[in-house]
A and B are shown apart, each in its own frame.
Chain A
Amino acid sequence: MSDRTRRDSQSDNGRNGVSRRSVLAGAVGLGGLALVDAVSSRAFAGAGSAVASGSIIDKGVLKTGHIPARAKRVVSIQMCGAVSQVDTFDYKPTLIKRHGEEIPPSVKNAGGRISAMSNGQTAYPLVQPIAKFRQYGGNGKWISDLMPYTGRVVDDLCFIHTMTTEHVNHDPASMFLHTGFQLSGRPSAGAWVNYALGTDNANMPSFIVMKSQHQSSGVAANGGLWGSGFLPSHFQGVELRAGADPVLYVRSPDGLDKKDRRAELDVITRLAQAQYAASGDPEILSKLAQYEMAYRMQDSMPEVADLSNEPKYIMDLYGPEAHIPGTFARNCLLTRRLIERGVKFVQLVQLGWDHHSKITARHPPDCMAVDQPSAALVADLKQRGLLDDTLVMWGGEFGRTSYAQGSISDVEAMGRDHHGGCFTYWLAGGGAKAGHSYGETDEFSYNIARDPVTVHDLHATMMHLLGIDHERLTYHFQGRDFRLTDVAGKVVKGVLA
C-alpha cells in the first residue's frame, strides 16, 4: 500500500490525507500536475539564475478569465472591527435633525436581529454623525470631515452604500467577508484568485497579506482569513511583517549562503519527488512550491521593502506614518510597490473601529490613520497608470448602528453597536464605475431602501471584473463543487463602468 505522508500544513483541517484516486482523478486540478512537470523539468542553472528560467510560472488553473478582464490585480482593504458608515460616508441629515430621539420601532424592527450587546437596552436614541459632512468632487459626494483625503479622490471611487450581511459578530462576519462562509475552512478570495489565475511575477507570491499594528483595541484577525481552505496550501496568503524580516523563514540562517541554499533545495526537491511518486500527496508539491518561492523571495522581498529609493514627497503623500514600519500608511505604500511588481492580490487588514463605547474619542484617530494612506494609494496607483486594471476594495465586515450603545446622556462613554443591515464599501479602478454611488439606505442608515448588495454579490462582481464567471470557478471537495460565492451571488451591474 502507499505510504501516506503526514501533512502539517494549515489546510489539513482534520483530513487524514488525500487518496491517490482523487489525485489521479484530477481533484487537485492542473496546478498540481503542472507543478510536477515544472519541478522535475526546470533548468536551474546553478547559483540563483532561477529568475531567468521562467518555467515555474504558474498561470493558475484557468490561465485566463472566461471573458476579457477589466482588472488584473485586486487590493482588498478590510477595516476589521467594522467602520461606522454613519460617521464616514453615509450622510443622513435626519440623524442630525432627530439626534436624541428614539429610533422609530418600525425602522428598528425591520432591521433584523440586534446583537446581544445592545438588545437589553431600554432606549435606542439616534446619534448624529460625530463630525460634519461636506461635499467633494464632480458629483458633490457628501463625505465626513473625518475623511477629507478620501474626499479629494472621490471622483475615482464607486461607493456601495447598501452592503448587507446576516452576521452581527466579528469572527463569522470577517470569515464570511474573506471566504464566503461564516465558519473557517474555506479558501479566501485571494486564494481563489491565486488558484484561478496564478501569478504575473514568478519571483513573488501571488497573494500577499499585510496586517497593520494599531493601538486602538479591536478584534483579532486570524490566519484563517487568508487561508487556502481545501485548496492546496501554497495558495494561502503570505503575510508580510513589519520589522527586519518581512517574511518569516525566508532568510537563510547565518553562515548559509545562496549557493549552498540552492544545492540544499535541489536535494530536497529530488527527495520530495521520490516521495510524491510513491504517495501522490499533492501537499508535497505545495511544500516544494513554497520552498522555491521562498528562495526567490530572498531576492525580491528585500527589494520591495527597501524604501531608500522612494522619494520623500511620495512617502509624504501617504502621510507621516509612512515612515514607520508596520503602520497602515507604510503598508499602503508597500502595496503600491507590490502592485507595480504584478502581485495579483494584496489584502490589507486594519484593526480598530469596534467602538461600542467612547466612539467620539476613538473613531477620529482610526479615521486619521487610514484616510490619507487610502486616498494616496488610489492617487499613486492612478498616476502610475495602474488604477485602470487594479481593483481596490475598502470596507469593513459590517456597519454600525445609528442608535447609541449605552446612554446618550454620557456623550463621551457612548458608542455604536454592530449593524449588519447596511454598511458602506468603496471600490476604485479595475472596471468599477468612477465617481458613482450605488444603492440607497433609508434616512436612518438602518435599512436598505433599494439595491442591496450581499457579500456574495461583491465577490461575484470582483470575480467578474477579473474576467472570471464566479459560477464556473469551482473546486470539487467533499462530494460537491465549492466556489467562493457558495450558492449565491449576482454580479452588480450598477457598479461596472
Chain B
Amino acid sequence: MDLIYFFGRLHVLLLHLPIGILLLAVVLEFMSRRGRFRHLQSAVGFVWAAGALCAIGTAALGYMHATEGGFEGAALDAHRLAGTSLALLACIVWLMRSRFSPLYAKAWPVAALGVVLLLFLTGHFGGNLTHGDTYLAQYAPGPLRGLLSSGRMRAARARPADLGSADIYLDVVAPALNQRCSTCHNDSKQKGEFSVASYASLMKGGKQGVVIVPGKPEASDLIRRINLAHDDKDFMPRDGKTPLTAEQGAAIEWWVSVGAPRTAAIASLKTTPEAHAALRSVLGFGKPHPAPAGEQPVDQQLADAAAPPPDIPAAAPEVVTALESSGFIVRPIAANNPLVQVDYTAARSVNDTDFAQLARIGKQIHALNLRSAGATDAQLDIIGRFENLASLRLELNPVTDAGIAKLVNLKQLEYLNLYGTQVSDKGLAQLSRLDHLRTLFVWQTPATPAGIAALKRAHAGLSVNGGFDPKTFPEGPKVIPVIN
C-alpha cells in the first residue's frame, strides 16, 4: 500500500509535463499552419504523442494518489473526470493524426480547444483540491473574486475599529485558522475529514472525533496539536508549513477557554492580561500608548501584561500640591498613568478641607491609605464616589457600619482594610455587593466568625482575614530534635 501512496505522490510532480507539452502541442498546431513555421509540422505529431503519454501516466498516478484519501468527493470527482477525459482526448488526437488525417485536418480546432478547456478544468479543480477553492480569489481584485471562487467567497470583513468591538471568532480565530490550516482542512480537501472553513465544521471535528471542547482547552485536540514541538509527528500544520504564531495560538486557546462562542464581541468576554496582549497583537493594534522615544521597556511581555491606563485626565497639579502641603503623599501608580496613590502620614487627623481636596481628584485615585487618620463615617461618603478606587486602607479609624454602607458603589475596589474599626456583621453583609473585592481585613473589629462566614458564602471570590490565631502555631521544639 505504501508503494502505491509513494507513486501516487509522484502525480503531483508528473502533472506538470502534460500541461506543458499539451499546451505546446496546441500552440504548434496553430503556428505550424502559417507560412513561417511550416517546418514545425513534422514535430507536431511527436509532441502530441509525448503529451498523450505523459497525460496517461499522470492520470494513472492520479488514481493511485486518490487512494490515499483526504480529498472530498465532489471536487475530486470533477478533477478525476476532467483529467481522465483529457488523457483520453490527447490519445484520440494522437490517433486521429496518425490514422485519420483527413478527418483530423477538418476537426483539429475542435480538438485543440477541447484539450485547452480540459487542461484548464483539470488544473483548476486540482488546484482547488490542494489549496482550497478560495485560494486564487483571496487576494484577487473585486470583480474577479466571484469568478475565481465560484461565487462562494464572502466580502472580507472590515478591520475592527478597536479591540473591544472585534468579534472573537470572525475577526481573530477564523482568519488565523484559514490562513494556516485551510490549505489542507477546507471544504474541498478535508484531511482527516476535518475542515476549518465554517464554525459548524470546526466544531464537528473529523475522523478522530471533536477537536474543540468548549471551555476546556486542555481537552481540545486542536490546542494540543498546535502546542506540540514542531518536529512532533502530531504537530499541526504538517509538512513544514508555516505554523500559527504564538499570539494566534494563545488567542485561539483563550477563545476555547471562554466556551468557543460562534460569535461574541471581545469586550463582552473576560480577558486575561496574556490573552489581551495576544489579541492586540493578532488584530494588529500594537501597544495602547506609544512609549516616549528611546524609552522602550526592555522586557516587552512584562510591560504589556500591565493593564492599559484609563483614558482620564491627570490629577490637577495644584490639588496635588495642596494635598502634599497638608501631609499627604500623592504619586502616580506608574509612569504615564493618570491614576494616583495617596498616602496620609501626618500626625493630625484628616479634616473636611482635606477631603474636599481629595474629592477634586476623586476620579484619579486608585489607592488611598488613611491608616490611623481619624476619618469619620461622614467623610466616607466622599470616598464612596471615587469610581477608580481599587485599594482602600481604613484601618484604625473610628468608622462604623454606617460609614461602610457608603462604600458599596465602589465598583473597582479590590482591597479593603478595616482592621481596628467598628465594623460589625451588619456592615460586612453590605460588602457582598462589591463584586471586585478580593481581600478584606477585619481583625480587632466587632465582626464575629459567623458574620465572616456569611460574607464568604455570599461572595465566593473574597478572602477575609479576621486575624491570626497564635494558638494555631505548632508547638515549637523544646528539646533540640536532632537525629544522628
Contact = CB atoms under 8 A, between A and B. Distances in A.
A68 B337 contact: yes
B468 A379 contact: yes
A404 to B, nearest CB: 13
Given A52-B327, A67-B303, A383 B465 contact: yes
B334 A54 contact: no
Contact of A385 (B326, B331, B348, B439): B439
A132 B302 contact: no
Interface in B158-177: none
A149 B473 contact: yes
A340 B393 CA distance: 12
Residue of A54, A148, A341 with highest tally of chain B CB at under 10 A: A54
B480 A365 contact: yes
Contacts of A152: 472-474
Contacts of B332: 63-64
Contact of A317 (B302, B328, B417, B470): B470
Given A132-B481, A493-B302, A200 B345 contact: yes
Interface residues of B, number: 51
A8 B262 CA distance: 73
B306 A68 contact: yes
Contacts of A451: none
Interface string A125-142: 000101110000000000
B467 interface: yes
A20 interface: no
A15 interface: no
Given A51-B347, A148-B474, A69 B481 contact: no
Nearest to B414: A388
B268 interface: no
A360 B484 CA distance: 9
Residue of B298, B483, B484 with highest tally of chain A CB at under 10 A: B483
A64 to B, nearest CB: 5
A375 interface: yes
B443 interface: yes
Interface of B is mostly: loop
Given A148-B477, A368-B476, A383-B468, A67 B334 contact: yes
A54 B324 contact: yes
Contact of B468 (A65, A148, A382): A382
Contacts of A372: 473, 476
B468 A411 contact: no
A348 B302 CA distance: 30
B473 A59 contact: no
Interface stretch (A101-109, A227-235, A240-248, A464-472): A464-472
A385 B441 contact: yes
For the complex of A and B, list the 5 residue pairs with the smallest distance between their C-beta atoms, beginning with the closest: A385-B417, A385-B441, A379-B468, A364-B480, A148-B474
B482 A131 contact: yes
A130 B325 contact: no
Interface in A197-236: 200-203
Interface in A44-84: 51-55, 57, 59, 62-69
Contact of A67 (B302, B347, B467): B302
A151 interface: yes
Contacts of B439: 385, 388
A298 to B, nearest CB: 14
Interface in B270-304: 295, 297-299, 302-303
A48 to B, nearest CB: 11
27 contacts: A51-B347, A52-B348, A53-B325, A64-B331, A64-B337, A67-B334, A68-B334, A128-B483, A130-B483, A132-B483, A146-B481, A148-B475, A148-B477, A149-B473, A149-B474, A149-B476, A151-B474, A317-B470, A364-B480, A372-B473, A372-B476, A382-B468, A383-B443, A385-B417, A385-B419, A467-B334, A471-B299
A63 B315 CA distance: 15
A342 B345 contact: yes
A327 B299 CA distance: 41
Interface string B297-318: 1110011001100000000000
A313 interface: yes
Contacts of B468: 317, 379-380, 382-383
Contacts of A371: 476
